[in-house]
Amino acid sequence: MANFGHVYLIGAGPGDPGLLTLRGKDILEKADVVVYDRLVSPAILGFCNPKAKMVDVGKMPTHHKVKQSEINKLLVQFAKEYPQGVIARLKGGDPFVFGRGGEEALELVAAGVEFDVVPGITSAISVPAYAGIPVSHRGIATSFHIITGHEKEVDSRKSEVGSDSVILSEVRSTKSKDPSQNLSLDFENLAKCPGTLIFLMGIANMDFIAKRLIECGKDPKTPLAFIEKGTTPYQRTVMATLETAGETIVREKVTAPAITIMGGVVELGQALAWKKNLPLSGKRLVVTRAAKQASGITARLSALGAEVIETPMIETRVVEGSFNWADLANFDILAFTSTNGVESFFKQLFAAGYDVRVLAGKKIASVGKITEKKLLEYGIRCDYVPEDHTGEGLGKLLAALNPIPQSTEGATSHLTPRILLLQGNLADDTLLKLLPQATRWVVYETLPVAELPEWKREAVAGADAVVFASTSAVENFVKLMSQGTAGVPPYLKATNGSAPIPQTSFCIGRMTESAARKHGFNTVTSDETTMDSLVKKIVEFYTKNS
Ligand code: SAH
């Protein structure tokens, strides 16, 4: 087998990031390239290896961004460009359910590229489930049928499977602008079918489809539901019957992506609709806190129904290769003041070829419980943790250690312990002031994020509001969103070319608020400088304004 990368055709599920499979997530985390579709949610893109090349081949309903034949070729091209690489082809729902995964696989076979298929949860079944509609139900429906409501004819005479290239050309059969003209469904048989009918991609043609089914004898009173953006915070169910399908779509402005489900099971949806409308349902919020701090607020806002786009404005980086590890022998106490410090220290220690034995006999100090817990993950118990969990507390505790714990490294004993502080570049001088004899190693740096990937900029641009917890977050956010190929995003774009359109921001602290105002955001500021208070304010805001 040639030295090609391995392609994974992965189903991303219908929208809710929790419905991606474990295997799918695992592959995304190590992918070198991710080729993804329009329907894949930003939260799932957020699982991808941050170093992966992200390629958007998303198709808009009206125009194809990248033609299917080009996508097929692209996968082969990446497999060649990344020998031994992991190429993830991420598709909405299941790759083999109207996902054209088969066409992509055929092209890979023809080119001699190895691939795996990682099935996904298809929208055909899960979207009705999220609307409380079981696709089969004893006594009501003993079968269900998944049908495409938008079909392009594939000219199979032109396909050459097994040769160098597989050409599956798309041929529109008529010149008619009416897409329904391209449907070659067997309406006679479908109308007779007693099972549940589930149409994907069918909204544009549904008036035509419903009429044809009625003409062919299906009961015009057959209950029917349109489920829009199922499993996402924007999910909406609209009920109708076969005879009112077309007018309902127009009246209720049903838009893609949506599925149409027909049959007796639809009526169960009234009793079984389990997905509650939550206070933040349908809102997309951008959280600009650092990843570690963000997870708490993200979980809370998600639990309240929001779609949260985590977009940290700062990132931490290990400061590499800058220490003389032999010097460790000269210290009696190692003091850690953050989990980042612990992780960065051990990362570098291990990278330099050492292991925890170099810490034998040393005393270990931690600023608080979280750092202490992190150390335990490396098999290290702390000797000193101040009761108040502050830098000052730690400084006082260590300063009071006199005479010192014995150094086991050398035979010498010292009057004061020799302390090594392992900290980040932004750590203040509290400890150094209290412990003038201590040495500090900066083991990690905190830097402003310099660039956002395009997919994230797009996700952020479509958001309802941004959460800011510091002025630097506001400044960097505006800077990041104003750079790049797209220029100023629609998000901050002026209607008249001058001031940006004010958009809602939720702020912690008055300084943050005024920075956001300066950039033209509307601001809602929490009463107290806590996340609790901010979350309360966000809920209040949307409850009042809905
Ligand atoms: N492979 C996908 C289907 C791709 S065809 C799967 O297995 O789900 C795209 C169609 O899927 C859309 O037009 C729509 O009918 C349906 N669809 C996908 N995601 C959806 C969602 N979250 N809510 C409603 N319909 C969805």
- Is 200 touching ligand 1 by the criterion CB < 6 Å? yes
Q: Give the residues across from 336 on adjacent strands.
A: 366, 422
Nearest-10 crossing angle of helices 510-518, 471-482:
20
Q: 83 — phi, psi (to 5°)?
A: -60, 140
161 vs 26: CA distance, rounded Å:
31
Give nearest CA residue, ligand 1 atom 5: 98
Nearest atom (ligand 1) to Cα of 91: 1
pLDDT in tens, the chain (546 residues): 568 999 999 999 999 999 999 999 999 999 999 999 888 999 899 999 999 999 988 755 555 568 888 999 999 999 999 999 999 999 999 999 998 999 999 999 999 999 999 999 999 999 999 999 999 999 999 999 999 998 754 433 333 333 333 223 333 333 445 656 667 889 999 999 999 999 999 899 999 999 999 999 999 999 999 999 999 988 999 999 999 999 999 999 999 999 999 999 999 999 999 998 899 998 999 999 876 666 788 889 999 999 999 999 988 888 877 788 889 999 999 999 988 899 999 999 999 999 999 999 999 999 988 899 999 999 999 999 999 888 899 999 999 887 555 555 555 555 678 999 999 988 888 899 999 989 999 999 988 998 888 888 888 877 889 999 888 899 999 888 877 544 454 445 544 343 345 589 999 888 999 999 998 889 999 998 888 899 999 999 999 876
Q: Choose the residue to mutate in 91, 152, 200 for probing ligand 1, maximizing ligand atoms within 8 Å of C-beta.
A: 200
Instruction: Please give the distance, rounded to the nearest whole angstrom, from the Cα atom of residue 486 to the centre of ligand 1.
Output: 28
Give nearest CA residue, ligand 1 atom 2: 93
Kindly tell me the sign of the dihedral angle through the C-alpha atoms of 380, 343, 529, 536: negative
94 vs 89: CA distance, rounded Å:
12
- Amino acid found at 249: I
86 vs 79: CA distance, rounded Å:
8
Please give the positions annotated as active site: 37, 59, 201
Instruction: Please give the distance, rounded to the nearest whole angstrom, from the Cα atom of residue 229 to the centre of ligand 1.
Output: 8
Which pLDDT does position 153 carry in this prediction? 43
130 vs 16: CA distance, rounded Å:
10
- Is 125 touching ligand 1 by the criterion CB < 6 Å? no
Length of the chain: 546
Q: Which tokens is 486 given?
A: 């797209």
Contact between residue 237 and residue 225 where contact means Cβ atoms under 8 Å apart: yes
Q: Choose the residue to mutate in 259, 261, 262, 275 for probing ligand 1, maximizing ligand atoms within 8 Å of C-beta.
A: 259
Domains of the chain: 6-121 (3.40.1010.10), 125-277 (3.30.950.10), 284-313+449-544 (3.40.50.10090), 316-447 (3.40.50.10090)
Distance of CA 14 to the CA centre of its chain: 13
- Is 508 touching ligand 1 by the criterion CB < 6 Å? no
The alpha-helical segments, DSSP class H, found in 412-544 are: 430-434, 454-461, 471-482, 510-518, 531-544
Q: Which tokens is 136 given?
A: 């089969």
Q: Give the residues across from 422 on adjacent strands.
A: 336, 441
Nearest atom (ligand 1) to Cα of 260: 15
First to last CA, the chain: 59
- Amino acid found at 381: R
- Is 15 touching ligand 1 by the criterion CB < 6 Å? yes
CA distances from residue 210 to 147, 185, 219, 309, 318 in whole angstroms, order as listed? 13, 12, 10, 38, 61
CA distances from residue 391 to 367, 386, 421, 538 in whole angstroms, order as listed? 6, 9, 11, 33
243 vs 239: CA distance, rounded Å:
12
- How much is the pTM? 0.78
